[in-house]
Structure 1
């Protein structure tokens, strides 16, 4: 157990440095670009960006997590896998470039004929990075991964802002992602010390076939679960609506970047060494969930109850269409925080087949709710049905995870939710009481600052009274 703590601490520290700095830089860039470009420009790019993760999955073939998990691969295998992915990604990149033709007809906008080819190099570089990045993760070299990511964020973000001021429009957003992809590939390849050996050993794929196949199938299923709403919003509600919906959804992903994206990249490489020790994995995982719930549930309530102030302060009145979707979707922030960790547990238990099966059922549920939301007629109602879907799939996924992978019960998670729920409810009532005073404040920053102090002040008092603060401090500063 002490060794797990040491490995987690070392990995999380460097991941946190890179992730937090990257989130701050990315958030600042997003604020500037959002004010410069507006919802429609984001909506235009979001339509083609929706397809990018799907093509990345087609290229990666689930190989990344399989490399981290496998103990049978050697240098020749890594070289062969890199060559296979490079060759395959070039083919997929060309297909992605041609995708602009049907997309331009479907959405009746010829801009996608060019955008698809401009995004193709991003796809190719991302896939060529899979093997070098997986080697760094397998060796737990989180320092190199995250310092590189931070520098890539800064370079890409700076370029995006400068070009946006120069009037490049949607192409500024493309450069913001393309440049980091190039920087990351160069750095990952260098630090991984990947040896490109002569020949191609096809047996490398056979060694990881079972794990990677189920991981790949889950990735495809999860893609449709996560992106179907964006595909349909762009078609039926238009680019501006997609920009607003995408912005509201993007806002609720930032907590993931801050918290789970620090923990999850460390989880599988560390726990993979304990895949048969269910008791140890469960003990570690429940601590992770407890921490995420203490943070996530109050944060969900805070974001939802102050959605109007947050959107208008950060992005301005042109983004008012994102307020109600954000208000609704932010109530699922805590679910997204803990759901992101599920894959790491199934991977560390070498149960990607179960991960794929649960993903298939979750996707069927999600498609049903999204279809109803689209038929409801606008993005506000769609957001409501998407939020309901998150709660339904949360119950299903964690019931299966706890019972099958961790030999336990979902009741253990529900018990962890009680204190955060009570604290969040009291903090919300505190802000509600302040609002009932009806004190007129014309400065939006000052108003947001006051309600934030009230909410998080009450939250802190609640943590102290329930003694949850001791657990949080131990997690952050000791363990």
Structure 2
């Protein structure tokens, strides 16, 4: 029976591990985003837009196949309170088998997929990409065990490194050799090969094939509920695009898609990092309600403190952000971005709620809520499209708010936390949003009045906001550092760099 995790769940140790893991995971997600930008800048000058379109269509198929092939085995292994060798062997067998089956089905259906997308060249791309599904299946259990034992730093380096080798090294070389879209496919396969090899070597486990009936039932009971919820969430992420494309046309879809991406980028950075760290952390204390509630409260506090002010500032600076990142031809994307930015907290906080729900095994309660969420996105977008992109953005914002409340209600029930405590965890973020929103609006309006360009408006506003945050924390640490401030500062003092530790020591004196 695996007990490595149990040795790491002491209060201070777990807090330090969580903070360190969040830091490393955030760096990895940020590094990968930066590498993606670098790859796009370079490859966009070597490949035609239609080649990127072929790869994007293949990745849509790949995303759907990944949901089916995983069968929730990885999170089931992370979540299990007592993990035995039979679970490891059965999980490995299921993952390998499903990877092979899904890869074979994708290979055989490649022509039908190409006809559906009306892209004849897509068939060859899908067939080669199908080779990657068995690779991911082979590494599924190793990754789950690494998460279970809190190897966040190692996993973060693998994710960023494998992507860099694939898309920064291999893709340009293959592109210069005139492989066209297959340069991107080769980069994708290289990324998966590197990732799989490192995971298998660095996280060895029992890999003899076995299908024990009881272990299959225990893993798939959780895994099936997880897969249903993930599928519904995937539908929710595409429903608004489908409505905009069908009823408002390709130009509107391009504007809306870019606006949504600008909103989602920071939300994904924070949400993915928190979720990847909090899920195994919460799973390790799922039988200890007090510690589970504290972990959840800390997660929503961190989320609200970052995303509420960020959403307000992005909404204020939306025209300039669009102009800088997308160019003057995309100015119409600023209005939907303003409304969508206000939903950044809802999108990110739902990820935190997902963590506690999966950690406690309540996957079917999560699944039907994600089904309602998918329906709400579709209805909201469809109802709003008669008022254009503004109406769609407002409809999606309402759906995000509904999902936020549904998942919060479930999380509070599982953690035995009150709505009052939930609200108090959001108070520091709300106050920061109010203060930074007021100052940002004043500064941005003033700079616009002087005729300043987009870069000075954004730069000046963000600079003042960045100076205000540490000042406010220094003036009122009891308020802005949340209810677990002493534990938070102690953990930061133990895991942070030396220069940070000096400042934390001063804050500790003020708090005490």
Distance 1:99 1:423 in 2: 55
Which shifted more, 106-115 or 215-224?
106-115
| Higher relative contact order, structure no. (Cα contacts within 8 Å, ≥ 6 residues apart) | 1
Partner of 2:91: 81
Distance 2:308 2:491 in 1: 18
Partner of 1:477: 492
Partner of 1:109: 119
3-state SS, counterpart of residue 343 of structure 2: helix
* Structure 2 residue 355 is matched with structure 1 residue 344: yes
Name which of 406, 414, 421 aligns with 2:423: 414
Q: Is the 8 A contact 1:39 1:244 kept in 2?
A: no
* Cα deviation, residue 64, structure 1: 0.9
Partner of 2:442: 430
1:226-237 pair list within 5 angstroms: 226-233=237-244
* Cα deviation, residue 320, structure 1: 5.0
Q: Is the 8 A contact 2:81 2:284 kept in 1?
A: no
* Cα deviation, residue 464, structure 1: 4.5
Distance 1:126 1:82 in 2: 11
- CA deviations 1:413-465 (Å, max 9, x no partner) are 33324313312321332234324533344xx4444322322343445544445
Partner of 1:4: 14
Distance 1:197 1:21 in 2: 36
1:124-163 pair list within 5 angstroms: 124-158=134-168, 159-160=170-171
Distance 2:153 2:423 in 1: 35
- CA deviations 1:14-46 (Å, max 9, x no partner) are 434433433333344345556877987656544
3-state SS, counterpart of residue 157 of structure 1: helix
- CA deviations 1:225-273 (Å, max 9, x no partner) are 2222344555566666555544333333332443233332222222223
1:244-393 pair list within 5 angstroms: 244-317=255-328, 320=331, 322-373=333-384, 375-376=385-386, 379=389, 381-393=391-403
Partner of 1:57: 67
Name which of 407, 412, 432 aligns with 1:397: 407
* Structure 2 residue 101 is matched with structure 1 residue 91: yes
* Cα deviation, residue 134, structure 1: 0.5
* Cα deviation, residue 288, structure 1: 1.9
* Cα deviation, residue 109, structure 1: 3.3
* Structure 2 residue 199 is matched with structure 1 residue 195: no
Distance 2:22 2:339 in 1: 31
- CA deviations 1:163-209 (Å, max 9, x no partner) are 66777665555455443222211111111212322554344312323
3-state SS, counterpart of residue 340 of structure 1: helix
3-state SS, counterpart of residue 36 of structure 2: helix
Q: Is the 8 A contact 1:61 1:216 kept in 2?
A: yes
Q: Indicate the RMSD between aligned Cα atoms, in angstroms.
A: 3.3
3-state SS, counterpart of residue 341 of structure 1: helix
3-state SS, counterpart of residue 287 of structure 1: helix
Distance 1:380 1:174 in 2: 37
Distance 1:268 1:209 in 2: 18
Partner of 2:80: 70
Distance of aligned partners of 1:111 and 1:462 in 2 relative to their CA distance in 1, 3 Å threshold: farther
Distance 1:295 1:128 in 2: 37
Which shifted more, 32-41 or 275-284?
32-41
Distance of aligned partners of 1:141 and 1:424 in 2 relative to their CA distance in 1, 3 Å threshold: same
Q: Is the 8 A contact 1:298 1:459 kept in 2?
A: no
Which shifted more, 186-195 or 449-458?
449-458
3-state SS, counterpart of residue 225 of structure 2: helix
TM-score, reference length from structure 2: 0.81
